[in-house]
Structure 1
Amino acid sequence: MSNYISKANDVSILLLENKDSIYLNKISNKVKVYVSPVKGIRNFRQAKYINKFIKDNQFKIVHVNLFPAMYFSVFKKSKTAKYIFTEHNTHNKRRKWYFKFIENIIYSKYDAIVAISEGVKNDLKKWLNKKNFKKVNLINNGIDIEKFDSAIAYQKNEIIPNFEKDDKILLMVGRFTAQKDQDTIIKALTILPKKFKLVLVGDGERVKTCHDLASELKLDNRVKFLGIRNDIERITKTADLCIVSSNWEGFGLVAVEAMAAEKPVIASDVEGLNGVVSNYGVLFEPKNYVILADEITKILTDKNLYVEYTIKSKERAKFYSIEKMCNQYLELYERELFKK
């Protein structure tokens, strides 16, 4: 998004951590990237640094993502900037009744709020007071469709040496957290034929838990953990089927990326994710690995059904282009700047 908007605008990014992130090398040279010198993303001194940074640079638009930046950024607001916050999820640890009052105070300090999906918007409607909810704008996430569409697939044994050409690769991309629930796919593999292999991309606090589960179920040769990768588009293009087994999801970006790569998608039927996949892929009951295994079998053993879903995937992905998303954000910025 920053790369696209920086084509005609001055864009700066302030990171509170992850200065060595593998994603930084994908950012355009036109975008200025700064890293807060304050140690600890939840250190309250971040608030002082963030607001000094905003005022010193005289930004007209301050676009904030995620907690705790959403709190720190409006602690002492610049009087000349417009503040926009993007809500990315339908669930977080602050969705407790005793946080609702302070949360609405924080949201009230933003000039506009963006929901990345209908599911997120519906969740905000339940959480925000009426005055705050009036500021909510729906802007669906977007991806670089061409990057996934034109990606060159690997040979299957280039990803994992013991994978064979006729193996069926199931892929899930995502952090190893309770939200993503890779466990359900691992369990589904116990019901599937041995030629069905699972590739998991990502990192997180539950990697070891999932490793242990695969070992316990004697699936070490069929479940492969690739860690963090910068070639997601090629791995996705190599897979036969992509799965998103999340317990909750704000949008489901990896589902759209898989669709852009013309891969059938099976996803858990949760708000935010079902709005993307419904009618274009297959939805299953969260955590139900038996049903998941059945849906995987149906798609990968029926050539006509498989082709049907690849066509549907490509069609659906067109709705979520990065250009469309960025243009909607630029329109929102302009509206806020000229709002009296």
Structure 2
Amino acid sequence: MNIVYVITGLSLGGAETITVCLANEMRRRGHHVAILYLTGENWFKDRIDRDIIVQSLGLSKNPFSLLKAQLKAKQFLKVFSPQVVHGNMVHANIFVRLLRLHCHIPLLISTEHNKNIEGRLRMKIYQYTDFLSDINTNVSREATTYFIQEKAFGRNKSRTVYNGIDLVRFGRNEDKRLKIRIQYSVSNNEFLFLNVARLTPAKDHVNLLLAFKETCSICPDIKLLIVGDGELKKELEEKVKELKLINNVIFAGAHIHIEDYYSAADCFVLSSAWEGFGLVLAEAMAANLPVLTTDAGGCAEVVDDYEYVVPTHDPFLLADKMKKIVIMSPEEREQLGNTNKDKAKRFDINSIVKEWEDLYLGYLQ
């Protein structure tokens, strides 16, 4: 098959990571693959298979930019002649639906990666352009059900397909653990919480910092490593100063080789206000880590244990769970991590890619 993945951008994030991973795996299975991205920089240059065509459409806020990007994409599709065009994220999904008005596309799939897409207008646009899509998917059952209930997705052509991860890549590695801890001056006997997320309102890092502050009351020497970058960085750094956590909280910035950081941690914690799937939870589970999360989007589906899921916007309940993990014996944490590793097998990229491949072929046949 000739497959084109279209995505809003290729910055560091869950939707971008899974799209690149899916493209790579499809190429390894012998398909001809291309990735078109609407805007921004490509952070995945070293991660994308060299046989995959990658092209920026150069979309900007200029009103003529959309027309130019549409014509550029149309010309590309004319030459590449795909059987499948698979959109990812709201802007790219609307873009490829509009593209279908003047391009031949045998199979058009729209994949949303979140329940909250920040605005009723976007849901309405999904609804009014739904007739242009053959198959709609979201990354959790809760999100798919919500989109159907809101009439953003047509019921009869919508389904849930979970995100997938490379279980081998995210396996625990003691050498990487030591390397990262040395890099950030964290001793091997210091308890390290890890959070991997963009510094945006959706991830609610203030909730995490308040919970961490409370957790420090029983163990003042614990550390929190936050991996990610975003618009709220300065605000969050000020919050750390306000909470007197400068010696406990480390902002590491964004990193492409995120697997190293999971190996360094003792527990992963996600404090999001809203999520789609919570890919980082599956990655942390594959790394044998205990995980804590808020009940945002599909996070509870990933963790599959409500003992370690708390309501959103409740730092005190989150702190209670964080304290529980800290005071556990190493043996208890290891057992919990091993259980999570087994659960992570549900998201093995090989199984997820097979599901997508069957979906493509099943429709085209």
TM-score by length of 2: 0.86
Q: Which amino acid aligns with 2:182?
A: E
Does the alignment pair 1:35 with 2:60?
A: no
SS of match in other structure, 1:74: helix
The residue aligned with 1:146 is 168
- CA shift for structure 1 position 63: 0.5
What is the alpha-carbon distance in structure 2 between the residues aligned to residue 129 and residue 174 of structure 1? 27
Determine which of 125, 129, 150 is the counterpart of 1:102: 125
**336 and 41 in structure 1: CA distance in 2 versus 1, 3 angstrom threshold:** farther
What is the alpha-carbon distance in structure 2 between the residues aligned to residue 184 and residue 204 of structure 1? 16
- CA shift for structure 1 position 54: 2.1
Does the alignment pair 1:24 with 2:45?
A: yes
What is the alpha-carbon distance in structure 2 between the residues aligned to residue 280 and residue 148 of structure 1? 24
What is the alpha-carbon distance in structure 1 between the residues aligned to residue 362 and residue 83 of structure 2? 12
Please tell me whether the aligned partners of residues 14 and 33 of structure 1 are also in contact (alpha carbons under 8 angstroms): yes
CA shift digits 1:274-325 (9 cap, x unpaired): 1111328611121211221211111221215323311221111111011111
The residue aligned with 1:199 is 225
The residue aligned with 1:282 is 308
Give the unaligned 5+ runs of structure 1. none
- CA shift for structure 1 position 38: 4.3
State which drifts further: 281-290 or 322-331.
281-290
**17 and 321 in structure 1: CA distance in 2 versus 1, 3 angstrom threshold:** same
State which drifts further: 271-280 or 222-231.
271-280
Q: Which amino acid aligns with 1:32?
A: I
**48 and 225 in structure 1: CA distance in 2 versus 1, 3 angstrom threshold:** same
What is the alpha-carbon distance in structure 2 between the residues aligned to residue 150 and residue 40 of structure 1? 43
What is the alpha-carbon distance in structure 1 between the residues aligned to residue 189 and residue 267 of structure 2? 14
State which drifts further: 230-239 or 148-157.
148-157
Please tell me whether the aligned partners of residues 288 and 338 of structure 2 are also in contact (alpha carbons under 8 angstroms): yes
SS of match in other structure, 2:333: helix
State which drifts further: 135-144 or 114-123.
114-123
State which drifts further: 175-184 or 102-111.
102-111
Percent of aligned positions that are identical:
26
Does the alignment pair 1:247 with 2:309?
A: no
CA shift digits 1:217-264 (9 cap, x unpaired): 111111110111122111111100000111111101000000000000
What is the alpha-carbon distance in structure 2 between the residues aligned to residue 288 and residue 260 of structure 1? 27
State which drifts further: 309-318 or 152-161.
152-161
Please tell me whether the aligned partners of residues 140 and 297 of structure 2 are also in contact (alpha carbons under 8 angstroms): no
What is the alpha-carbon distance in structure 1 between the residues aligned to residue 224 and residue 260 of structure 2? 16
Please tell me whether the aligned partners of residues 267 and 282 of structure 1 are also in contact (alpha carbons under 8 angstroms): yes
Please tell me whether the aligned partners of residues 50 and 72 of structure 1 are also in contact (alpha carbons under 8 angstroms): no
What is the alpha-carbon distance in structure 2 between the residues aligned to residue 281 and residue 202 of structure 1? 27
The residue aligned with 1:52 is 75
SS of match in other structure, 2:109: strand
Give the unaligned 5+ runs of structure 2. 1-21
Please tell me whether the aligned partners of residues 130 and 152 of structure 2 are also in contact (alpha carbons under 8 angstroms): no
Q: Which amino acid aligns with 2:113?
A: H
Does the alignment pair 1:177 with 2:200?
A: yes
CA RMSD of aligned residues (A): 2.0
Please tell me whether the aligned partners of residues 226 and 252 of structure 2 are also in contact (alpha carbons under 8 angstroms): yes
The residue aligned with 1:189 is 212
- CA shift for structure 1 position 112: 0.6
SS of match in other structure, 1:247: coil
Query: How do residues 1-340 of structure 1 correspond to structure 2 at under 5 angstroms?
Result: 1-7=22-28, 8-21=30-43, 23-40=44-61, 43-45=65-67, 46-77=69-100, 78-94=103-119, 96=120, 100-128=123-151, 132-151=154-173, 152-155=175-178, 157-161=181-185, 163-191=186-214, 192=216, 193-279=219-305, 282-303=308-329, 304-338=331-365
Corresponding residue pairs, total:
333
Q: Which amino acid aligns with 1:187?
A: L
Please tell me whether the aligned partners of residues 172 and 288 of structure 2 are also in contact (alpha carbons under 8 angstroms): no
